[in-house]
Amino acid sequence: MAARAIASGTISFGLVAIPIKVYAASKTQSLRFSMLHEGDNARLKQHYRCTKCDETVERSDTVKGYEYSRGQYVVLTEDELKALEKKTDRTIEIEEFIPIEQVDPIYFEKTNLLGPDKGGHKSYRLLCKAMSDSGKVALGRFGNRGRQQLVLLRPTADGLTMHGLYYADEVRRFDDIDLGDAVEFKQGELDLALQLIGQLSNEAFEPEKYEDEYRQAVLAVVDRKVAGEEVVIVDEPDRREQIIDLVAALKESLAKRGVGPGSVKRVRKPAKAKGAGKATAKKAASK
């Protein structure tokens, strides 16, 4: 089934304008549950309730407010908010090209796929090819729904991917995180950790290897209940042993993968050539 475009727009850089269509890059498979009234299984509705007068409020009687201080709000009308919105024509204004290695994935917010719109096929392909050959990605702004969304355009073998980005002031830094005191590692501990990483390493990303086991289990129970079966779910205890010692935990992890302690090789620094130190000293003395 062909994907449906969720929007259309234009990629603009220099004097070049490329008409494009925007597609959702993913679809959520998360399970959604409805809140029901226990007894008749009728669906419940949510209501707004005032925290001051304790009355139910209709949606038509609500306004938007910004909390500038605890419990203190400034009310903004719909007309005021619309006046503050920038006029957007769904144009992606490319501002600069940068190496993808310079972009930390923490900035990625959401992803869309871009395809060419009518009359833009050749220019779309040209931009994609040029970006791929240059090894660069495009950074720009996407005017959409009154907001200037920071975006990154990335070329792939099939086309252009658009990643919505967080702004710098939306991303937390490790300065806000308590990382504890500095620690030192023994070489043996590092060797074990490196060997375990090697045992668990793969050369390619294969997402099809992984499934949402929780979703599969819930759907299986739903199917059985729809079929009229009585389902009894037994809570399995956590059988993992708590290993406090770091080295013991690493060795246990390697043992479970069939790697014995005797096969752990220490990573050694390359030795200097014999006599290299004397030769260097003699050369310095002659100078």
Lowest mean pLDDT among 186-200, 239-253, 272-286: 272-286
Beta-bridged to residue 151, according to DSSP, are 140, 164
How far is Cα 89 from Cα 120, in angstroms, rounded to an integer?
17
Is the pLDDT assigned to residue 278 strictly greater than 60? no
Q: What are phi and psi of 13, to 5 degrees?
A: -150, 130
pLDDT digits (tens, 9 = 90+) for 84-127: 776 666 789 999 999 999 999 999 999 999 999 999 999 999 99
- List of residues 6+ apart from 82 with CB closer than 8 A: 146
Q: How many CA atoms lie within 13 A of 246 on its CB side?
A: 10
- List of residues 6+ apart from 34 with CB closer than 8 A: 43, 44
Identify the pLDDT of residue 31. Answer: 80
Identify the pLDDT of residue 95. Answer: 93
Q: What is the DSSP string of 149-168?
A: EEEEEEE-SSSEEEEEE--G
C-alpha distances out from residue 134 to 127, 139, 160, Å:
11, 14, 14
Q: What are phi and psi of 87, to 5 degrees?
A: -70, 120
Across the chain, mean pLDDT equals 83
DSSP category for residue 39: T
How far is Cα 36 from Cα 38, in angstroms, rounded to an integer?
6
Polymer length in residues for the chain: 287
Query: What's the mean pLDDT in 29-50?
Result: 86
160: nearest Cα among 9, 29, 1: 9
How far is Cα 249 from Cα 154, in angstroms, rounded to an integer?
41
Question: 7-25+85-170 adopts what CATH topology?
Answer: Ku70; Chain: A; Domain 2 (2.40.290)
Identify the pLDDT of residue 276. Answer: 47
Give residue limits of the domains in the chain: 7-25+85-170, 187-263
Total-model pTM: 0.69
How far is Cα 212 from Cα 122, in angstroms, rounded to an integer?
40
Query: What's the mean pLDDT in 155-184?
Result: 91
Beta-bridged to residue 172, according to DSSP, are none
pLDDT digits (tens, 9 = 90+) for 143-156: 877 778 899 999 99
